[in-house]
Structures are given as C-alpha cells and as structure tokens.
Structure 1
Amino acid sequence: MLRALLTGVTAGLIALAGSASAETLRFSNWLPTSHPVVKDVMLPWKAAVEKATEGRVSIQILDAPLGPPPAHYDLAANGIADITFGAQAYTPGRFKTSMLAELPFLGDSSEAISIAYWQVFKERLEAAGEYAGVKVLGVFTHGPGEVFTKGRDLSSLDGIAGAKLRIGGGMANDVATALGAVPVQSPSSKAYELISGGVADGILFPFESVTFFRLDGLVDQGFVVPGGLYNTSFFFVMNRRTWDRLSEADKAAIDSVSGEALARLAGEAWDAADAAGRDALEGKVQLHVATEEQLGTLHQMLDPVIESKLDEIAATGVDAKAAMDDMKARIAAETR
C-alpha cells in the first residue's frame, strides 16, 4: 500500500516537473484565421514545433492581435509577444535588405523565391544587423504581384498610367510610381471599399489576394508580367530573451522546422493559393500577359527602381549586386 502510494506521488511529481518546464509561447497574428498564411503556414508550423520539441514548447496563436500590423516587429522585440508575423514594408526605411526579395521580375513561384531568399538572408543579409532584439525564424514572400483594375483597358501600358492603385507600401509603391500610376496606400482589407467606392481604380496584388479579398467580382481586367512586378517580404520572429531561455535541444528542434523549411512551407502554400485564385478569375477577369515589347518597356521603366534599391541595400554594408545575382541563381536552381 505504501509502495503504491509512493509510486503515485513520484509519478505526480514527475508530471508536475514536466509541466513546469514546458514553454507556452504567445504568437500575435493580425490576419483572418481563414487566410492561407494562418491555416496553411502558421498552424502547420505550430504543430511542427510542438512535435519537434516533443511537447516541451507549445505555441498559442492569439485570438486577437496585440497591436496593428506595423507594430508586430516591435511587439516581439520588446517581449509583448513571444512570436510575431509581419511585413517589413509596413515600417518603411527600417528593413532595407528585404527589398532584395521584393524586386521586379524575380520569378513566378513563391516557393522558389522564398527558399532562395532565406538562403541569401542567412549567408549575406543577416549580417547587416537589421533584426535587433529578435531571433529570425523565417523570411519568405508572397507570389508575384500583378495589376488588377476596374473599368480600364490593360491591353496597353497606357491603361496603368494615371490609374489610382491601392498599394501596401514597399516595392509596390515604387513600381506603381514608376509605371505612372498614383499609389493609394491602405491596408489590404480596405481594397474592396476603395475600388467599389471609386477612390481607387485598381490594385497591385498577387492572384491569391484578389479572390481572398472578394475583388473577383469587382475588378474586370488584369495585367500579368512574367516574373512579377514585385513581391512582398514577410517575417516570423521570436523575442530574443524568449529564445535564449529555451534549452539547446529545443532551439535545435525549432530551427529544424523553421528557416528553409518554413520558407518552403510558406512558398508552397502561397503558390497553391495563387493557382486557385487564378482559376477563380477564369471567365470573370480578362487577363493580359505582357508581350515581349511590353516587357522591354517595363524594364526601361523599372530597371532604375531596381538600381536605386540595390544602392539602398549596399548602404547596409551588403554587396547588393552579388546578393542579387546569388538570389537569381538560387531561384533558377529551385525552378528547374
């Protein structure tokens, strides 16, 4: 009887010790739960972390964000949240190296671009020191961004000139300006309201976002550029103090499902969402694919933007031209 009692007490103490050492990390997210980044990236990554750490680390994706989207990097850096997701472009001028992944004409696959981006980030960009206060768990991009409008003829580049286009900031702003459009900066959630109300004529978006934000019944034409007009860069980051208090085993476990694995997961999810989005536009939106002549004109208009961004990246101490060449080579290798 005594032995059974002692055995039960010992088992209880072991269970309590195990639960006391477990870490529950709070993840602040501002996207709707139905968004592909939540259901096809965050949730699978959460499950992968919990499996890799054998339950020693669990992740709680909060029901409501702890601040607006532009605040999410600082929410992690300051320890208000343990982990956050965000877009570097939401804080203009702060993350110059991320522009490398947002350049025009990089490629047609989010997966290829995201994997190449992570590899170049680790080997060339991270040393610029732009991510103070956090452990960078991953960086990736959405699929190629294109132009979509209501009531404008996009068979010619003239249809873009003068158009008021909603943009989210970053490279999209510079691309819209270089094409002669008028950028209207606003959250993506306001896109339907802006276009339906005539405040904007259209939007720069990947295919996924056109259908996710219910614009497929609103816009009527699209202009598609091989390689894309831009991409948007995103991050997953963890508060540095939170990271440092984890065991070496748990750090290694989290790293094993983050970084390149996270870039691949996100890229695959976005490519699938883009493909579904493009299929959903069939018969609803007239798509014009840029001709060789139009591509030549686009390069004349956008190559100066690329050079300007490379200069900004170089100001961080990174060999920007070498980084771009490396990025393109890795994208090509992933695409083959």
Structure 2
Amino acid sequence: MTLKLALVASALVVAGSAATAKTRLLVNCFWPSSHFACSEVLPNWIDEVERVTEGRVTGIIPPKSVAPPPEQLAAVEKGIADVSVMFNGFFGDGVQGPRVAMQPFVAIRGAETMSRALWATNRKYFPDEVSTVHLLSQFVISPGELYSQTDTPITTLEDLANRKMWVLPGPLAAITKELGTGVVATPAVKSNEIISRGVVDGHLGLDPQAVEAFQLLPYTKSTTRLSQPIYATSFSVFANSDKWAEISPEDQQAIMSVSGDVLGAAFGKRWDEAAAQGEAAYEGAGLQVIMADPAFEQALMEASAFVTEGWLKAAGDTGIDAQAALDFYRSQLDGAMN
C-alpha cells in the first residue's frame, strides 16, 4: 500500500470512529428507584436527549443513588455522576437565585407553572449563578401543607406555637422556631421515622403526594388549607462541565431544547398529578380538610416576612436584583393564572 493510500485509509477509520462515537451520561437520581422522578421523568428526558442528538448522546440511571441528597453537586463536580438533581437549599449561600421560588406565601398549587416561572426568572436574573457545573434546568414541586396529628386542627398561631412539629428544614423551620413551636427538622425522606413514632403532633412542609408516599396518612388527622400555600421547594438539574464540553455545540443546543423549562415543566406536571392523587386519598384515610381562617393566614404571613427580608439581602449581596427577581417570578405566576 502506498503512503498516500495508507493515509486515506487511516483518515477514513478516524472519521468512521468519530461518526459512531457516543457520549453516555450517568444520570443520578437520589429518590428511590420507584419514584416517578427516577422511573418516569428522567428516563423520558434521556430518551429525548437520544432522539434530538440522533443517538450521539445517551444516558443511564444507576439502580441506587451514587451519593446522599446533599452531596449531588459534589458527586457531579468530581465526575462520579455526569448529571444529577439537587434541592436548591444544598447549594450554600453562594447560590441564592432559585430560592426565589421558596419564599413564604409565593407558591401556588401548580408545580408545572411554578417550574416554568422559575426557569424564566433564572434566565433573566441569575443565568450564570451556578458556575461549577452546567445548569440544565430548575423546577419547583407541589407546595407543602400544614397537617395535624391530633383530633384538633391547627387553626391559629397559638395552636401552631403550642405544638411539637416535624418541619421541613430551611425557611419553614425558621418560621416555626420563631413562633416558639417545638421543631423536629429532618429531610423529607426521614419524616416517617419521626411522625409514625408519635414524636410530634403535627407536620408542616410535605405535599399531598409525599404524605401518601411516605405512608403518613394513618398518623394524620387533618390538614389546614391556606388559600395561598406557605412554601414550595425548588431543585436544579446540572451536568459535569468536562462531560458537557465533550458534547458538540450542535448537540449541546439540541439537549438544551429538551431541558430548561421543558424538563422543568415535565417534573412539575408529574408532581401536580401525584399531588392530586395524594389529595384523592384523604377521604378514604379519614383526613379532614379545614379551610384556614383569613386572620390565621394573615398572621402567619406577617410572622414569616422576616424570611423573605433575609433572602432579599442575601441574594442582593451576591449581585442579584432580588426584589426585581421576586416581582418577576410572582408576575409569571399571576400571568399564568389569569
């Protein structure tokens, strides 16, 4: 074979290898494998990524999480996982933007709408805030509710202050502690350990699907339904920066076309469906729904104002126009509801 023919043959081999090269993403999911985030939403996203990249980028979800929930960012930064999801409260004080959706009395009962609103707010006010990984999406889940485990519903600030409550860590724990409530704060996945043993006599922060999923209906007697939910939780989806850089710009653009608000809305929609299923189980479990007195709701709103004041300062300190971001997020929700 002449040198020229050998060079041509070598070039064809290299070109063929490049054409068939695939990037496979290890997509971690910290929820149990049976949870719809792991069994439906993320697998569907992987299918969409493979479709829009014509098979050049694929993905796989490990059977068990490669790291605990608070360590998802570190796992992706280190390359233990290529893509993961994390509660935005675990980012630390340097990432404040997505907490706009976690401020008291900002949420609505519509996770799909909140998720689209959060991504729009991210793109406008804090698109580059998460810098050590490539941000793929942000989303919000259905809001947490207020529940009583005794025959007496929680209908006043005094009722709440006189209880011992399991509370989701973060703003809700801060609010209830400020009221003088006895607080046991753990991650949601640990709630059953506390609530089922009768350690507390109420809980605050779980949405209806979580109450059902964590098998808490037998221990819950009533829920006090506020006209506007007190709190919702937001999450981020992100990729390892080096792994992302391996993907061609064209495929990166294609992946983002099925990520961003598209992926966020998919998470939110599925949470909305699960929340509706959870609420449908109330009647069969004998769980009573009490509509909150407006005076109680107003008092709770005033008692929680310090949380938003603190966030406005903290977010402002990172360079975000926090009040504008909060106003914009609220306007996105109002626009979707009207």
- Whether the TM-score (by the shorter chain) exceeds 0.5 is yes
Q: Secondary structure in 2 aligned to 1:282?
A: helix
Which amino acid in structure 2 is aligned with residue 196 of structure 1? Answer: S
In 2, the alpha carbon distance for the partners of 1:142 and 1:301 equals 24
Q: Which residue of 2 aligns with 1:141?
A: 140
How many residue pairs match? The answer is: 324
Pairing 1:53–2:53 present: yes
Given that residues 30 and 68 in structure 1 are in contact (C-alpha distance below 8 angstroms), is that contact kept between their aligned partners in structure 2? yes
Pairing 1:74–2:74 present: yes
Which amino acid in structure 2 is aligned with residue 298 of structure 1? Answer: L
Given that residues 141 and 267 in structure 1 are in contact (C-alpha distance below 8 angstroms), is that contact kept between their aligned partners in structure 2? yes
1:168 deviation in Å? 3.6
Distance 1:18 1:276, change over 3 A: farther
1:227 deviation in Å? 2.4
Which amino acid in structure 1 is aligned with residue 21 of structure 2? Answer: S
Q: Secondary structure in 2 aligned to 1:329?
A: helix
1:191 deviation in Å? 1.4
Distance 1:183 1:16, change over 3 A: farther
In 1, the alpha carbon distance for the partners of 2:319 and 2:94 equals 15
1:255 deviation in Å? 0.3
In 2, the alpha carbon distance for the partners of 1:235 and 1:39 equals 18
1:155 deviation in Å? 4.4
Q: Which residue of 2 aligns with 1:111?
A: 112
Q: Secondary structure in 1 aligned to 2:237?
A: strand
In 2, the alpha carbon distance for the partners of 1:175 and 1:142 equals 20
Which amino acid in structure 1 is aligned with residue 188 of structure 2? Answer: S
Q: Which residue of 2 aligns with 1:259?
A: 260
1:225-264 alignment, distance < 5 Å: 225-264=226-265
Q: Which residue of 2 aligns with 1:274?
A: 275
1:97 deviation in Å? 2.1
Which amino acid in structure 2 is aligned with residue 233 of structure 1? Answer: S
Distance 1:137 1:331, change over 3 A: same
In 1, the alpha carbon distance for the partners of 2:183 and 2:117 equals 29
Distance 1:168 1:59, change over 3 A: farther
Q: Deviations over 1:136-191 (max 9, x none)?
A: 10111111111123116224223321323333422232233344433322232221
- Misfit runs of 4+, over 6 Å: 13-16
Given that residues 149 and 202 in structure 2 are in contact (C-alpha distance below 8 angstroms), is that contact kept between their aligned partners in structure 1? yes
Given that residues 154 and 222 in structure 1 are in contact (C-alpha distance below 8 angstroms), is that contact kept between their aligned partners in structure 2? yes
Equivalent position to 2:288, from 265, 282, 286: 286
Given that residues 86 and 237 in structure 2 are in contact (C-alpha distance below 8 angstroms), is that contact kept between their aligned partners in structure 1? yes
Q: Deviations over 1:103-150 (max 9, x none)?
A: 1222221111111111101110234x3x22211101111111111231
Pairing 1:300–2:306 present: no
Given that residues 145 and 206 in structure 1 are in contact (C-alpha distance below 8 angstroms), is that contact kept between their aligned partners in structure 2? yes
Q: Which residue of 2 aligns with 1:5?
A: none
What TM-score do you get using the length of structure 1 for normalisation?
Answer: 0.90
Which amino acid in structure 1 is aligned with residue 103 of structure 2? Answer: L
Which amino acid in structure 2 is aligned with residue 261 of structure 1? Answer: V
Q: Which residue of 2 aligns with 1:25?
A: 25
In 1, the alpha carbon distance for the partners of 2:162 and 2:27 equals 41
Equivalent position to 1:333, from 302, 315, 335: 335
In 1, the alpha carbon distance for the partners of 2:18 and 2:270 equals 35
In 1, the alpha carbon distance for the partners of 2:317 and 2:31 equals 33
1:168-247 alignment, distance < 5 Å: 168-203=168-203, 204-247=205-248
In 2, the alpha carbon distance for the partners of 1:139 and 1:194 equals 30
In 2, the alpha carbon distance for the partners of 1:245 and 1:113 equals 32
In 2, the alpha carbon distance for the partners of 1:72 and 1:88 equals 11
Q: Which residue of 2 aligns with 1:153?
A: 152
Pairing 1:84–2:84 present: yes
Given that residues 178 and 305 in structure 1 are in contact (C-alpha distance below 8 angstroms), is that contact kept between their aligned partners in structure 2? no
Given that residues 89 and 169 in structure 1 are in contact (C-alpha distance below 8 angstroms), is that contact kept between their aligned partners in structure 2? no
Given that residues 210 and 277 in structure 1 are in contact (C-alpha distance below 8 angstroms), is that contact kept between their aligned partners in structure 2? yes
Q: Secondary structure in 2 aligned to 1:95?
A: coil
In 2, the alpha carbon distance for the partners of 1:266 and 1:174 equals 27
Structure 2: runs of 5 or more not aligned:
1-12
What TM-score do you get using the length of structure 2 for normalisation?
Answer: 0.89
Which amino acid in structure 1 is aligned with residue 260 of structure 2? Answer: G
Q: What's the RMSD between the two structures over aligned residues?
A: 2.2
Q: Which residue of 2 aligns with 1:4?
A: none
In 1, the alpha carbon distance for the partners of 2:175 and 2:225 equals 14
Given that residues 108 and 226 in structure 1 are in contact (C-alpha distance below 8 angstroms), is that contact kept between their aligned partners in structure 2? no
